[in-house]
Chain A
């Protein structure tokens, strides 16, 4: 399956970006093959509003079934849930570590947004 990790850089060694809507990149990883692709999110970095919603649309359009990030606001959460994407918040470390933790089943999907807006 494909998962998207919010990232501060374009490689697997980059740190997980704690922000969902305004993260610098999404690293979209295929957990079966280990192949990955960095998707630039700059356009949303400066969005006046709705960054979380548009980031969520990007993730869904990339075909990801899960998102690993630091925090996720309610609007992004609703959009991701509608797009049948599972959300994992509170994720830290490098992108590679996050993906390993996910594959090892150490992460738990959230039921709700963990912050109020603007992430």
Chain B
């Protein structure tokens, strides 16, 4: 089973939820892998302290034009959806940083002038943290092609029974790439008006992808009424409600997993997991289609 932990915006505690869940479930004897697909800012390692066994460069194929063979027909520029290759005065200019590696230009070139070369965009790393299998992608600073890297991290083969995917925040391509193929998505939110607004956008995205989902409300105060009302209106279940607690933030700032520093938090994550299983198998409370 693969579950993705996502959020409409950054800073909701997505990584805390993902790493704590991984830790608690690994302790129950489940073989768990944590995948950090938040490749622009992977920070799960700060809490899991993994030992990295392997670090592989990840590349995207970009065109290299042989000027001797090129006849200047401009077909490559015409097919490219990303303006990554231009043809002016029968001369070709390439912009590898814009290229998505679709291979279209090489396919249409009548002169066989284009060959593909790899351009490095980051690394995919695998390792282990105590009982948890670990994988993460680290994107090069300033690099825009994060979906290619996310896909490669997401698809690293595994022997784990459960994959916990820490998805990038937001609702654009990187988030969608990380979530696609998951069996279940947990959307982490804060119960503030801004938080719920971003949650609404994230819910739309997951609904579009047609993946079973539930909400984790993080850092709620008192009765958590606003988030409950929101979720009941949007017909989505709340899988966990984690109270606001300064000690959690303190543990976090010291690079400690809250469930290790504060064992009383373990039941929240065991319950969360029980709820996910219930919802994923479509028993009580599945939202109407």
* A contacts, CB < 8 Å to B: 47, 49-51, 53-54, 56-57, 60-61, 75, 78-80, 82-84
Contacts and interface: CB of A to CB of B under 8 A. Distances in A.
B89 A53 contact: no
Contact of B88 (A47, A49, A50, A82): A82
B93 A47 contact: no
Given A49-B98, A50-B98, A57-B77, A82 B91 contact: yes
A84 B87 CA distance: 12
Interface string B86-104: 1111010101001000000
A89 to B, nearest CB: 19
A47 B83 contact: yes
Chain B interface residue bracket vs A = 10 to 19
Contacts of B84: 50
Contact of A50 (B82, B89, B91): B82
A85 to B, nearest CB: 8
Nearest to A52: B83
Contacts of A50: 82-84, 95, 98
A79 B82 contact: no
Interface of B: 77, 82-84, 86-89, 91, 93, 95, 98
A60 B98 contact: no
A83 B95 contact: no
18 contacts: A47-B83, A49-B83, A49-B98, A53-B83, A53-B86, A53-B93, A53-B95, A54-B83, A54-B86, A56-B88, A57-B86, A60-B88, A75-B95, A75-B98, A78-B93, A79-B88, A79-B93, A82-B91
Contacts of B95: 50, 53, 75, 78
Contacts of B89: 60, 82-84
Nearest first, the 7 closest Cβ-Cβ pairs linking A and B are A50-B83, A83-B88, A60-B88, A53-B83, A82-B93, A83-B89, A53-B86
Given A79-B88, A83-B88, 18 more contacts: A50-B83, A53-B83, A53-B93, A53-B98, A54-B83, A54-B86, A56-B86, A56-B88, A57-B87, A57-B88, A60-B88, A75-B98, A78-B93, A78-B95, A82-B91, A82-B93, A83-B91, A84-B89
